[in-house]
């Protein structure tokens, strides 16, 4: 079978679900989730599992020097860049079975459908496993796709350290997944990513598929308050320089600033206290701030408010403060042709859709800087993600994989028509 006509191939929901459950055993938690931090031995194990699964379909697996894996199925024209699909296999410390993993395994199942049918695409087709999408061990998130898209330099990326002082580069070497190809020297004809929505809208509106038109702007900040650690029982209240009090006031302020702007969100996700002793007034605190909005002008105003508030809090309490912007990701608008391929894929599968911007960052956002890209969302129960309770049903996962397959075939046919 060749690419002259668009076939009605079907993915196997049972096989996809079995893959999700099998891979979830690697790093499984007691509460039914996954703790599979990037570049740990558990990450190595799931990478090995993915490599074996892809090679069993006749794919050639290559790895770049940021550890990103590319499983390629040959097409009629192997001299043109592949159409890629995928996501990531690393998780949050208390992650679920679907965030990221669904995108890789849905893509793998799409390849299986092509393999079962003996269907030969025009372009090569690849499944991609991006390194360190979550950013939970090495900040910021999406480091490998960021290097791929030219946002970060490789030297900067591999020097990132986790909280224990281990560098990204050393951890990558330790698990044996530093490849020879320079990250970014891997052109793509297009990239499609399936993901759970991580929000409540598809479920609330009873829609099957989110057609993702872009990703809202994101900014991350590191903040350190420095005061003076001192005895909790002997230091009068009016003579204290309590760094934790400063952090507490800023946490409340982040929430208030986000509420001033409709559609904005603001989160403090990390708070560390030193020296962390019951009877010592904290002398230093470190916290992270995550702000997001579709409009970058709104984020500019939020940033101004954050800086002013941090300085005012520090002055009032006799503290020093350093607020540093570490991630500045602009809003992303996905490729119209890729978006239409997703729409047509959903229509061919008889599934209802909703256009939406992604509230979360994804690898596709950085890939979109160097290749046409789009995303496909499926509902998740109660909009919960980054949580062991995260859940999408077998049918919902299968729907996402089916739309992915049809979108890739649609794009492949269009590509063939242009080049013939």
Domain of residue 276, residue span = 217-329
Q: Is 195 annotated as a binding residue?
A: yes
Residue 3 lies in a domain: no
Residue 6: what pLDDT? 56
Same domain as 150, residue 286? no
Regions in the chain scoring below 70 on pLDDT: 1-7
Q: Is 386 annotated as a binding residue?
A: yes
Domain count, the chain: 2
Same domain as 265, residue 183? no
Residue 329: what pLDDT? 82
Residue 137 lies in a domain: yes
Contact 142, 132 (CB under 8 A): yes
Same domain as 49, residue 194? yes
Q: Is 238 annotated as a binding residue?
A: no
Q: What is the pLDDT of residues 322-370, one digit of tens each?
A: 999 998 888 999 999 999 999 999 999 999 999 999 988 899 999 999 9
Q: What is the pLDDT of residues 8-64, one digit of tens each?
A: 799 999 999 999 999 999 999 999 999 999 999 999 999 999 999 999 999 999 999
Task: Write down the residue that tokens 């509420």 correspond to.
Answer: 259
Q: Is 335 annotated as a binding residue?
A: no
Find the CATH number of the domain harbouring 139.
3.40.630.10
Residue 8: what pLDDT? 78
Same domain as 350, residue 247? no
Q: Is 241 annotated as a binding residue?
A: no
């Amino acid at each position: 079978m060749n690419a002259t006509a668009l076939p009605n191939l079907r993915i196997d929901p049972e096989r996809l679900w079995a893959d999700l459950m099998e891979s979830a055993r690697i790093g499984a938690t007691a509460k039914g989730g996954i703790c599979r931090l990037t570049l740990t031995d558990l990450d190595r194990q799931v990478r090995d599992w993915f490599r074996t699964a892809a090679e069993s379909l006749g794919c050639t697996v290559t790895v770049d020097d940021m550890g990103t894996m590319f499983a390629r199925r040959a097409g009629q024209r192997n001299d043109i860049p592949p159409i890629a699909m995928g996501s990531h296999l690393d998780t949050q410390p208390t992650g679920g079975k679907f965030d990221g993993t669904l995108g890789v395994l849905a893509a793998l199942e799409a390849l299986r459908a092509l393999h079962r049918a003996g269907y030969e695409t025009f372009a090569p087709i690849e499944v991609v496993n991006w390194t360190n999408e979550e950013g939970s061990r090495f900040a910021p998130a999406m480091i490998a796709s960021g290097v791929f898209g030219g946002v970060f330099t490789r030297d900067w990326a591999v020097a990132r350290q986790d909280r224990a002082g281990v560098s990204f580069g050393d951890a990558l070497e330790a698990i044996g997944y530093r490849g020879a190809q320079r990250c970014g020297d891997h052109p793509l004809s297009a990239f499609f990513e399936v993901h759970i929505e991580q929000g409540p809208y598809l479920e609330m509106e009873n829609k099957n598929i989110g057609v993702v038109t872009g990703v809202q702007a994101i900014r991350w900040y590191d903040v350190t308050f420095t005061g003076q650690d001192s005895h909790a029982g002997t230091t009068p209240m009016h003579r204290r320089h309590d760094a934790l009090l400063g952090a507490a006031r800023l946490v409340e302020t982040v929430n208030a600033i986000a509420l001033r702007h409709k559609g904005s969100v603001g989160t403090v996700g990390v708070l560390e206290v030193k020296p962390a002793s019951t009877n010592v007034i904290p002398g230093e605190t470190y916290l992270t701030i995550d702000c997001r909005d579709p409009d970058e002008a709104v984020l500019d105003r939020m940033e101004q408010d954050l800086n002013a508030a941090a300085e005012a809090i520090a002055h009032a309490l006799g503290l020093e403060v350093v607020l540093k912007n570490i991630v500045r990701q602009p809003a992303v608008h996905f490729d119209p042709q890729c978006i239409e391929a997703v729409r047509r894929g959903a229509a061919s599968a008889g599934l209802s859709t909703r256009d939406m911007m992604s509230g979360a960052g994804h690898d596709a956002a950085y890939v979109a800087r160097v290749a046409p890209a789009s995303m496909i969302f499926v509902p998740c129960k109660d909009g919960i993600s980054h949580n062991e309770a995260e859940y999408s049903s077998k049918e919902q996962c299968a729907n996402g994989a089916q739309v992915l397959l049809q979108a890739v075939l649609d794009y492949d046919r269009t590509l063939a028509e242009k080049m013939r």
